[in-house]
Structure 1
Amino acid sequence: MADELYRLLSGILQGMSHAQLSQEPERVAGLVVPAREGFSKRQRIEAVLENLTQEDLAQLALKFAAVRHDILLDEAGRKVLEAGDPPLTQITRRDVARILGDDLAGERSTVEVVEGYFPLSSPLEDFLGSGGESLRNQITRYMDHNQGDWSVEHLFGEIGAFDCSKARFGALLEETVHPLTRSGDDQTKTVAALNAVLARDGYELAQEGEISGHPLFSFRSLARGVSGRPKNLIFASRGPKPEIGFADAINNDLVILSGEESCLVYDRPIGASGLVWSELVAWWGEATPGADAADLGARLQESLASDAERKLFATYFKAYRSALGEALPALLPQVYLHYDPAIVKTLRHRLPLPRQRMDFLLLLPNRQRIVIEVDGKHHFSENGRPSLKVYADMVSADRELRLSGYEVYRFGANELVGDNAEARITDFFDKLIRLHNIRQ
């Protein structure tokens, strides 16, 4: 797709004169194409485009597509930008089509709903024909004039909706439930039915406003989550802090410079369903022949730094291991997310998030990542004295994590010890489990 995007952009720029190359790309997209003595247009274009990342090319494509009303260019750009997102599968798209039956457009014409998002045909093709009707005319005939001849599922196959970008498919659904298309009970029931299917892939149609008293719906992720696929989890250190070379142990490649022998490194792929305890136990059993869940639990407890952390860890498994069974999320202690300051100079091109280690991490479905911190006095003091700087650094790091899509929850260490500690911990996890709809 990136090669196709490069080809499309190069073709557009190649169609410009030298003078236009010096003006149009900058006017439309902020892209400066310097004039270079002795350079052909192709050389000028290649010199600029080859220095752009895939994301840069995609953003450039969207800007040119908007000005040129070029659906194919827009689609190529969107597919590149969506490459790391959870997919909206063909299975889900098929089920969406079946919910709609033979009526995509409600009170509007089908062509009116579709043509802004999918190339149908040119006016010349409509006029001259080519031994058969254009797609635009077929849609009018078989979905509007003779409703029922084509199903929405058949239409999706004809226009390419099963393979298009998620953004394009979502935009089509927004039109399908727009008040001009459907209103009243028809709109309400259609949105509810579609959301039941879309939720399987982590998406929904959510109300974002009103027009003349009628709801407007927007296609969006059901849960915002963190971008990128988790991999290379480094956790449960029971010795010296590992020196790790990477920008984010959840999303990037790593280099452990020292201390690897004291850590656990989970290097299996982690999918959209997150990481559950049974998967962690299976990995542990293969990595440590003869070991079982009890051995893994004991190994993880060795990394816990305080009575408060041990209480939280033990209560979680006591309360939910049987209740959630195979769906129990793995509670990972002492997770190192970011690279050590000792090797920052060797990784100048990468930026760290401020915090080096998380007390606990849960990887839940739909890319939801839950960080749990247990705060002792060292979170607020330096050399035994209260420190506004230490506190400011902590809350600054929390902000960065939240802006990156993490949920961050903090306990004071004194909350997790004493007679009411277990009830306080289970109350928190009960609410968290309900919030994220985790069930056996």
Structure 2
Amino acid sequence: MPINLSGLFAGRLQSMTHMQLDGVASWLDGFVVPGGEGLSKRQRVDLALEGLDETRLAELALKLASQNEDVELDEAARRVLEASDPPLTRITRRDVARVFGDDLAGELDLLGLVGKYFVLSSPLEMFIPSSGRSLRDQIERHMVRNPGDWSVEYLFEQIGAFDCSRARFSALIVDAVHPPARSGEDQQKIVAELNKVLTQDGYHLVQEREESGHPIFGFQQVVRGVAGRPKNLIFASRGPKPEIGFADAINNEIVILSGEENCLVYDRPIGTTGLLWSELVAWWSDLVPGSTAAELGARLQESLASKAEEALFKTYFRTYRNALGDNLPALLPQVYLHYDPATSKSLRHRLLLPRQRMDFLLLLPKRQRIVLEVDGKHHFSHDDTPSLRVYADMVSADRELRLAGYEVYRFGANELLGIGAEEKITDFFEKLFRLHRVGSKS
């Protein structure tokens, strides 16, 4: 029977004193429980919950559950937040257990690993009936003192791992392949086997970083992204094409030989979380000591090629700078994609690489790269004459980008200027951020 999250959350609040309810907002994300003479705790809580949408309720419930180590409330909240995601089925969880065989923890303490996510001091009443003996006692007897008595599949049945939230299950699996548990060939082998199983439901373990030379994996939904990590981010070009060489060709380290004043080169690692505006500002302040975010914004605007691009750029930051804060993705203008050292005038015996620069690029989490193009008449004409060849080259380059995993969105320059332009821009970004869960706490 589904758990009523609203009722569960309300019950937890009603168990507090009136004084505690008065102070809830200070530690529960600004959630205010109204007061009033003669109001009961139930009436106060009912007023606080009135009109609260389900997602906000779930986020508040997660925070309260974390404060009190409340597994039941945490599970109920996560079920709401995970409702729109592909399910991690019982079949897949069973197959994951079978990959581990009878060794879930590797070199870790098994009771410590499992107890981090599941209640072991007594039978987990949420998921299984009482057996008269604590789960901790049973696990210690059948898997620690007598290894092999229980398989990981049987363990999962006992602790409720087949029915718990995806977040709880995935956190357990990630810890089970973390370097303190497994390393080297053993880690790589079991991750490969787990991914064969997990991808059936649209999930996989992905290396997110390294720690002391060991891969650290995270649990992610399988998405179409661009393979590999960004290495050379050359952007904000405001003049002639810079000349680029390799400072170290083996390590793919580039150097700007000339024209350095016409572009910016972001030279810090970009991981699976993408590139945020706050990270770009931190880089800029190190590059130009004493400089501000506003000065970086002004420098980026110098590279914009039209009033339409300027409208898109300014509306983006004006609308989302405060709304998303440190979670705001960096909107990078004039980013080099293909780089051909030759100029079009100097080419005689070969073609010029197409789409050398993108108007705008967003690097979002999970390797998602979003290209925004603002089309003026030069995208469809040559010497002010409509040209099917120019148009064909443009759509061909778009196809290649999409096949490489990029998302490409085009705006007509006229869309971004005049009456209703700002609403059109914000509507696009609202839908894009919703699609990619930018700013989401889930």
State the partner residue of 2:151. Answer: 151
Match of 1:390 in 2: 308
Cα 1:25/1:118, change in 2 over 3 Å? farther
Instruction: Tell me the residue number matched to 1:98.
Output: 98
1:371-410 correspondence runs (5 A): 388-393=306-311, 407-408=370-371
Q: Between the two proteins, what is the percent identity of the paired residues?
A: 50
| Cα distance in 1 between the residues matched to 2:175 and 2:20 | 37
What residue in structure 2 maps to residue 418 of structure 1?
389
Q: TM-score, normalised by structure 1?
A: 0.54
Instruction: Count the aligned residue pairs.
Output: 270
Hey, what does 2:11 align to over in structure 1? 11
2:210 aligned residue: 210
Any unmatched runs of 5+ in structure 1? 226-385
Deviations 1:169-203 (A, max 9, x none): 11011111011111111111111111222223222
Contact 1:205/1:220 (CA < 8 Å) preserved in 2? yes
- On the 8 A contact 1:402/1:408 being kept in 2, the answer is no
Q: CA deviation at 1:39?
A: 1.0
TM-score (norm 2): 0.53
Displacement of 1:55 in angstroms is 0.9
Measure, in 2, the Cα distance between the counterparts of 1:75 and 1:42: 23
1:365-402: CA deviation from partner (whole Å, max 9, x where unpaired): xxxxxxxxxxxxxxxxxxxxx99333334566897998
- Tell me if the contact between 2:380 and 2:391 (Cα under 8 Å) persists in the aligned partners: no
Aligned partner of 1:76 in structure 2 is 76
Name the SS of the counterpart of 2:77 in structure 1: helix
* Structure 2: distance between partners of 1:390 and 1:177: 49
Aligned-pair CA distance for 1:224 = 7.1
CA distance in 1, matches of 2:403, 2:199: 17
**Partner residue in 2 for 1:201:** 201
Cα distance 1:409–1:91, how it changes in 2: closer, same or farther (>3 A)?
farther
Distance 2:394 2:156 in 1: 52
Q: 1:66 and 2:66 equivalent? A: yes
Return the alpha-carbon distance in structure 1 between the equivalents of residues 182 and 197 of structure 2.
Answer: 19
CA RMSD of aligned residues (A): 3.6
- 1:392 partner letter: E
Deviation at 1:418, TM superposition (A): 3.2
CA shift for structure 1 position 41: 0.8
Q: CA deviation at 1:132?
A: 4.1
Question: Which amino acid in structure 2 is aligned with residue 73 of structure 1?
Answer: L
Aligned partner of 2:261 in structure 1 is none
Q: Partners in 2 of 1:414 and 1:145 — Cα distance? A: 77
**Number of the residue aligned with 2:322:** none
* Rounded Cα–Cα distance in structure 2 between residues aligned with 1:192 and 1:60: 36
Deviation at 1:68, TM superposition (A): 0.7
Q: Is the 8 A contact 1:98 1:153 kept in 2?
A: yes
Divergent runs of 4+, >6 A: 395-406
CA distance in 1: counterparts of 2:55 and 2:135, whole angstroms: 33
CA contact (8 A) 2:174 2:217 kept: yes
Query: Could you tell me how far apart the structure 1 residues matched to 2:82 and 2:162 are?
Result: 15
Alpha-carbon offset, residue 406 of structure 1: 8.4
Residue 75 of structure 2 contacts residue 165 of structure 2 at CA under 8 Å; is this kept in 1? yes
Task: Report if aligned partners of 2:380, 2:390 keep a CA contact under 8 Å in 1.
Answer: no
Q: Given the superposition, is the C-alpha separation of residues 224 and 82 from structure 1 closer, same or farther in structure 2, using an over 3 Å criterion?
A: farther
Is 2:32 aligned against 1:27?
no
* Structure 2: gaps spanning 5 or more residues: 226-303, 317-358, 407-442
**Matched letter for residue 388 of structure 1:** S
Query: In 2, Cα distance between the equivalents of 1:184 and 1:37?
Result: 64
Distance (whole Å) between structure 2 residues aligned to residue 12 and residue 400 of structure 1: 45
Tell me the amino acid that sits aligned with residue 390 of structure 1.
Answer: A
**Deviations 1:285-307, CA, capped at 9 Å, x for gaps:** xxxxxxxxxxxxxxxxxxxxxxx
Q: Are 2:99 and 1:181 aligned?
A: no
Secondary structure class of the residue paired with 1:204? strand
Amino acid at match of 1:114: V
Matches within 5 A, 1:5-404: 5-122=5-122, 132-223=132-223, 388-393=306-311
Q: Distance in 1 between matches of 2:195 and 2:45?
A: 44
Cα shift at 1:419: 9.8
